[in-house]
Structure 1
Amino acid sequence: MVEQEWLSERFAEHQGRLHAVAHRMLGSRGEAEDAVQEAWLRVSRADTGQVENLAGWLTTITARVCLNMLEARRARREEAAGALPPEPAPEIGSTDPEDEALLADSVGVALMVVLDTLTPAERLAFVLHDVFAVSFGEIGTVIDRSPAAARQLASRARRRVRGAAEASEAARSAERDIVEAFLAASRSGDFAALLELLDPDAVALEVRGAPAVASFFAGRAQAARLALVDGVPAAVWLHRGQPRAVFTFTIGDGKITHIAIDTDQGRLQRRELVLLTQERR
């Protein structure tokens, strides 16, 4: 009983990191919580007498749970469950070790973009190594591969993520410019500028057509702030410093085609809101 209480306390100490690992692996907070719960069930039934590195052991168990969930998810989308990719051949002309880690911001945005294009093994190798600095030896143990194979899987995933990061950042920058210009025109009541930013068939709430949408927003947005909502340029309306509404924009061919307004406080609390303190001029 004493040992179980000790293990429960140690698991609680590492639970934040384990949840972060699972969230990066699975891309969903709900699934991450399920994975951590499953990891605890496995931990609570295991013999910890031979465990020397508790943090690494807990990470390994959580990663294995996530790997199983990813493979099950992949199998549901395919006619037949796919096995792990074949043992990759060694890479010629490997990159310098200092170039192996991606910037945190790029990882956060790009990983979501390419999440479903990576195989479960590639995803696990990339996330554990590049985001959480887990060694390729430990990763190889999780996926039953050699350290060299784990390195190659991470490298393969990294190339995809780098390409997606560049495309994602370019798109996000263009969208941010449009959202920022829309907020500025809305605050100043610049009807002509709003029309220029809106698609002729733009829709917002029950308002349809660029002239009607421009009239609706002209002179408003005084309390709206430019923000990233789940990594995407958007606007947040604040009341007494608290987010009360999120405005998300659908943009096509450089024009705003749809503006959605979400005031559900439960959903707002689950979204990742990052207020941008300085708007570009």
Structure 2
Amino acid sequence: MSDERTLIFEQNRHTLEGIAYRMLGELSGALDIVQETYLKWCEIDVSTVHSPRAWLITVCSRIALNQLKSARVRRELYVGEWLPEPLPDQLNQDPRVQLELDDTVSVALLLALERLSPSERAAFLLHDVFNLSFNEIANILGKSNANCRQLATRARKHIREHRPRFQTTPEEHQTLLEAFISAARQGELDRLVTLLANQVELYSDGGGQVEALPSILCGAEKVAKFFVSVFGRYQRNAIAIQTLWLRFNGSSGLLIYENGQLATALTIDVHAGHIYRLYAVRNPDKLSNLPAEM
């Protein structure tokens, strides 16, 4: 029974990790939730469970919901801008499935989800992303079917209002990011400005542990000057910069290493041939699941 119990859990692990990560926006926290779910799974008589998958999703979702409520309190005290912890991609062989997966872990969506109440977030994710029925969601949340429908409807409305819909291709995305980092390293201010949308936004998350912008920086000229300044300082201080391409949160990103040590995970949102948003994760705690050294 022990081997069968473990097999059942492993067959559902990917789904559980997906739910926990999208609920929290934290990879480390998500893995802790999945581990706690496994420990609870080991404590029950599996033979009495009608649907192991439903049981696992229910327990995992409830734990994630409790963790999210605690996380929201911590984020109110967070130093600077909060960004989700980078999630390295697990590629799917079906391009259509991959596109859907990419969209549900994008930084833009995860930031929009932060504006929802925990119950709204859970109802939206469980129904729209993981295809649970509202009867199943009602059981998880301890609410009525009608209430859960209302929660999901409100969530969709908020997401439409606060989540920009960026239209691009993976090739255009990577080309623009390559051009941007090249111009930044060369100090080409005018070139940087042409790559950026006029109202571009730069989000930088240091978590109060390392240097980062205290708030969102807006405008092509300001963002371009900021990056020219940063890479100019690298040169003046003889800091060796190396980069490594890595897909995370559904699109190509760059890991930036300072003297061989991972310092920043950078990715962008692209629309109409320009960079509309840049996300720079510098909080060391959020980089711990990425390659630490070059």
Query: In structure 2, what is the equivalent of residue 154 of structure 1?
Result: 152
Provide the TM-score with structure 1 as the length reference.
0.60
Native 8 Å contact 1:205 1:260 kept in 2: no
User: Cα 1:233–1:194, aligned 2, differ >3 Å: closer, same or farther?
Assistant: farther
* Alpha-carbon distance in 1 for matches of 2:180, 2:227: 16
2:230 paired residue among 204, 209, 214? 204
Report the Cα offset of residue 147 of structure 1: 1.4
* Alpha-carbon distance in 1 for matches of 2:267, 2:13: 35
Does residue 270 (structure 1) correspond to residue 290 (structure 2)? The answer is yes
Query: In structure 2, what is the equivalent of residue 135 of structure 1?
Result: 133
Alignment of 1:166-177 (within 5 A): 166=164, 169=166
Native 8 Å contact 1:27 1:115 kept in 2: no
Gaps of 5+ in 1: 80-101, 238-243, 272-281
User: Cα 1:233–1:114, aligned 2, differ >3 Å: closer, same or farther?
Assistant: same
Native 8 Å contact 2:187 2:232 kept in 1: no
User: Cα 1:245–1:42, aligned 2, differ >3 Å: closer, same or farther?
Assistant: closer
Does residue 57 (structure 1) correspond to residue 55 (structure 2)? The answer is yes
Alignment of 1:189-200 (within 5 A): 193-194=190-191, 198-199=224-225
- CA RMSD between the two structures: 4.8
* Alpha-carbon distance in 2 for matches of 1:108, 1:19: 12
User: Cα 1:112–1:195, aligned 2, differ >3 Å: closer, same or farther?
Assistant: closer
Matched residues, number: 224
Provide the TM-score with structure 2 as the length reference.
0.57
Residues 125-159 of structure 1, C-alpha deviations (whole Å, 9 max, x = no match): 11111111011111100111111211111111111
User: Cα 1:259–1:16, aligned 2, differ >3 Å: closer, same or farther?
Assistant: closer
Native 8 Å contact 1:205 1:259 kept in 2: no
Does residue 114 (structure 1) correspond to residue 80 (structure 2)? The answer is no
Alignment of 1:177-196 (within 5 A): 179=177, 181-182=179-180, 193-194=190-191
Report the Cα offset of residue 115 of structure 1: 2.6
Query: In structure 2, what is the equivalent of residue 165 of structure 1?
Result: 163
Query: In structure 2, what is the equivalent of residue 123 of structure 1?
Result: 121
Native 8 Å contact 2:187 2:228 kept in 1: no
Query: 2:47 aligns to what SS in structure 1?
Result: coil
The range that moved more, 119-128 or 193-202, is: 193-202
Query: 1:117 aligns to what SS in structure 2?
Result: coil
User: Cα 1:178–1:148, aligned 2, differ >3 Å: closer, same or farther?
Assistant: same
Report the Cα offset of residue 196 of structure 1: 5.3
Residues 209-259 of structure 1, C-alpha deviations (whole Å, 9 max, x = no match): xxx89xx9xxxx9x979876556875568xxxxxx9977489xxx99xx99
The range that moved more, 197-206 or 105-114, is: 197-206
Q: One-letter code of the match for 2:55?
A: W
The structure with more radius of gyration: 1
* Alpha-carbon distance in 2 for matches of 1:12, 1:27: 22
Query: In structure 1, what is the equivalent of residue 143 of structure 2?
Result: 145
* Alpha-carbon distance in 2 for matches of 1:156, 1:25: 17
User: Cα 1:181–1:54, aligned 2, differ >3 Å: closer, same or farther?
Assistant: same
User: Cα 1:46–1:39, aligned 2, differ >3 Å: closer, same or farther?
Assistant: same
Report the Cα offset of residue 118 of structure 1: 1.2
Gaps of 5+ in 2: 78-98, 195-223, 257-261, 269-273
- Higher RCO, Cα 8 Å, sep 6+: 2
Query: 1:148 aligns to what SS in structure 2?
Result: helix
Identity %, equivalent residues:
29
* Alpha-carbon distance in 2 for matches of 1:260, 1:73: 21
Does residue 66 (structure 1) correspond to residue 64 (structure 2)? The answer is yes
Query: In structure 1, what is the equivalent of residue 24 of structure 2?
Result: 26
